[in-house]
Amino acid sequence: MEYCANNLYRRIRSGSGSGAGVRMTESEICHVLLAVTSAVGYLHSQQPPIAHRDIRPENILINNSQTGAMAYKLCNFGSATTEAYKCETREEASLAIADIEKHTNPGFRAPEMADP
């Protein structure tokens, strides 16, 4: 993978506040969403499906090409898994909760993981 000097978190921060930089345009936001949902769709289409579990602005890299076009790339697959949670017993639910707490960021958890 090529070197990407920026990520979405820094891009958002550079455009917030007074005089901090250029805010993201609606078109740029749509481009980010399309790139991320395409990446997630690809992961979920694999056999077995892959769950990233750590999608957040810091893990979306930005590659600026020489033509000025931006490409957005999902990174940091350290928390990715192909395992699905089975919560048929209290013990399985406890193991799932422990795994969720270990491998996901509370601020970016899926709603069904926020309050198990």
Q: What are phi and psi of 30, to 5 degrees?
A: -65, -40
The yes-or-no answer on residue 99 being catalytic is: no
What is the value of pTM for the model shown? 0.82
CATH 1.10.510.10 domain extents, the chain = 1-82
pLDDT digits (tens, 9 = 90+) for 41-86: 999 999 999 999 999 999 999 998 777 788 999 999 999 999 988 8
**Angle at 37 (CA atoms; ends 70, 5), nearest 5 degrees:** 30
The CATH fold assigned to 1-82 is: Transferase(Phosphotransferase); domain 1 (1.10.510)
Q: Smallest Cα–Cα separation from 5: which of 55, 64, 58?
A: 64
What's the rounded Cα separation, in Å, for the pair 31 and 65? Answer: 15
Strand (E) positions, 1-116? 6-7, 60-64, 70-74
Task: Examine the pLDDT at 116 and tell me if it is beyond 60.
Answer: no
Q: Which amino acid is at 34?
A: L
Higher-confidence residue of 107 and 58: namely 58
Among residues 32, 35, 54, 59, the one annotated as catalytic is: 54
